[in-house]
């Protein structure tokens, strides 16, 4: 069968629809950031996430049906549609397990749906990109190789190495303990500021002094009192010295770390393929609609990267990753609507 058996789909994009979606996601993101997560219930944001993914997948199946006469695009859009539906099922399963109080390891049962989504998305992108560009340019190869490589090096470094900035608020808080309602700052016993009457504790071969701290507010017992708001700036520019801190790795660290490394790897590969695809979509038979689809895929990939870097031990729904996922899925749905409309 001769390829492609599809019409051009330059399609007329309604920018009012895009503007409305953008305004809606800004409101969504603001509300999501300030509405606390309640594990015992499925809230609007979690329902919206799964719904947006399943809707995008359903449109993908409709486009696949229209493209079925094309051996290349029929399979590519079938993979896309099935992948998004599996992603939505995985998101809903995650929510249901959280509501039920079922222990949710990472990786866990939802990952049986997430992994196929990423692989099917890779199949869609490689199939379409290869059809339009049989031989990749040097710049395409550099994007596909360097983007995943750089991001994953940063990922490994960020999770395997912790840093402390002396004088910063996290540095101060990491040195505090609470004993019987009293907060103390833990300092080496030989620190010049330590007085003789401070209580000492010995950990291994090191001795520390417990320096009492008067709190500014009982609402925030971990924050030391200060007479100037500038003292609470995260970085004290006069002491901007980053020190590497030793980190302990236990059995609970490695499974999520390796799972995150896999997800981050396949996500960045998909993002690089979407970037390469964006350089060829204007001259393709799929036209502007595919370019819009690539934008939605890229937004989802950005959300995945945010998730991978911030949630190795736990995930909270207020994480901004969900905003990119919902917005990306909305863009994908609109792009697929344009595909179907213009075939």
- Out of 185, 218, 245, a domain closes at 245
Per-residue pLDDT of the chain (343 residues; tens, 9 = 90+): 445 444 444 457 889 999 999 999 999 999 998 888 887 888 899 999 999 999 999 999 999 998 888 888 899 999 999 999 999 999 999 999 989 988 888 889 999 999 999 999 999 999 999 988 889 999 999 999 999 999 999 888 877 776 555 555 445 555 666 666 677 777 777 777 777 777 777 766 677 777 777 644 333 333 343 333 333 333 333 343 444 444 566 677 788 888 889 999 999 999 999 999 988 876 666 678 888 999 999 999 999 999 888 876 667 788 899 999 999 999 999 999 988 876 6
Is residue 38 domain-resident?
no
**In this structure, are 134 and 89 located in the same domain?**
yes
**In this structure, are 194 and 268 located in the same domain?**
no
- Out of 245, 280, 301, a domain closes at 245
Q: How many domains does the chain have?
A: 2
**In this structure, are 139 and 179 located in the same domain?**
no
Asked whether the CA dihedral 158, 159, 161, 165 is positive or negative, the reply is positive
- Looking at residue 19, the DSSP 8-state letter turns out to be H
- Out of 194, 217, 245, a domain closes at 245
Is residue 8 domain-resident?
no
Please give the pLDDT value at position 228. Answer: 37
Residue 2 burial by Cβ neighbours in a 10 Å radius (0-12, 13-18, 19+): exposed
Is residue 61 domain-resident?
yes
**In this structure, are 260 and 222 located in the same domain?**
no
**In this structure, are 148 and 295 located in the same domain?**
yes
**In this structure, are 99 and 122 located in the same domain?**
yes
Helix (H, G, I), strand (E, B) or coil at 103: coil
Structure tokens at 299: 């937004």
Q: What is the pTM of this model?
A: 0.74
For the chain, the straight-line distance linking the first and the last C-alpha, in angstroms and rounded, comes to: 18
**In this structure, are 153 and 84 located in the same domain?**
yes
What angle is formed at CA 258 by the lines to CA 77 and CA 155, rounded to 5 degrees? Answer: 85
Q: What whole-number distance in Å separates Cα of residue 207 and Cα of residue 285?
A: 72
Q: What whole-number distance in Å separates Cα of residue 310 and Cα of residue 327?
A: 19
Is residue 150 domain-resident?
yes
Residue 110 burial (CB count, 10 A): 20
Sheet holding 199-203, edge to edge: 176-179, 182-188, 206-212, 199-203
């Amino acid at each position: 069968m001769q390829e492609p058996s599809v019409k051009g789909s330059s399609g007329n994009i309604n920018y009012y629809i895009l503007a409305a979606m953008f305004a809606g996601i800004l409101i969504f993101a603001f509300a999501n950031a300030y509405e606390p997560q309640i594990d015992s219930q499925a809230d609007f944001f979690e329902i919206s996430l799964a719904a947006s993914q399943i809707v995008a997948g359903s449109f993908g199946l409709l486009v696949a049906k229209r493209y079925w006469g094309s051996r290349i695009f029929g399979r590519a859009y079938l993979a896309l549609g099935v992948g998004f539906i599996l992603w939505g099922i995985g998101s809903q399963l995650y929510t249901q397990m959280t509501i039920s109080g079922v222990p949710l390891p990472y990786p866990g049962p939802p990952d049986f749906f997430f992994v196929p989504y990423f692989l099917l998305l890779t199949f869609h992108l490689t199939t379409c990109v290869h059809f339009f560009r049989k031989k990749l340019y040097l710049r395409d190869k550099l994007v596909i190789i360097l983007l995943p490589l750089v991001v994953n090096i940063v990922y490994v470094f960020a999770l395997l190495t912790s840093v402390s900035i002396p004088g910063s608020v996290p540095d101060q808080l990491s040195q505090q303990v609470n004993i019987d309602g009293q907060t103390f700052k833990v300092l080496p016993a030989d620190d010049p500021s330590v007085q003789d009457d401070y209580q000492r504790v010995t950990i291994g071969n090191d001795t520390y002094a417990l320096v009492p701290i008067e709190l500014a507010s009982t609402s925030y017992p971990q924050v030391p009192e200060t007479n100037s708001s500038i003292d609470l700036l995260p970085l004290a520019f006069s002491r901007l010295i980053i020190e590497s801190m030793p980190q302990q790795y236990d059995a609970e660290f490695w499974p999520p770390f390796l799972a995150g490394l896999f997800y981050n790897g396949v996500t960045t590969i998909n993002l690089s393929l979407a970037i390469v695809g964006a350089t060829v979509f204007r001259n393709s038979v799929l036209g502007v609609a595919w370019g819009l689809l690539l934008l939605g895929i890229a937004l989802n990939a950005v959300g995945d990267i945010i998730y991978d870097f911030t949630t190795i031990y736990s995930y909270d729904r207020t994480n901004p990753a969900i905003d990119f996922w919902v917005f990306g899925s909305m863009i994908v749905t609109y792009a697929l609507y344009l595909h179907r409309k213009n075939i």
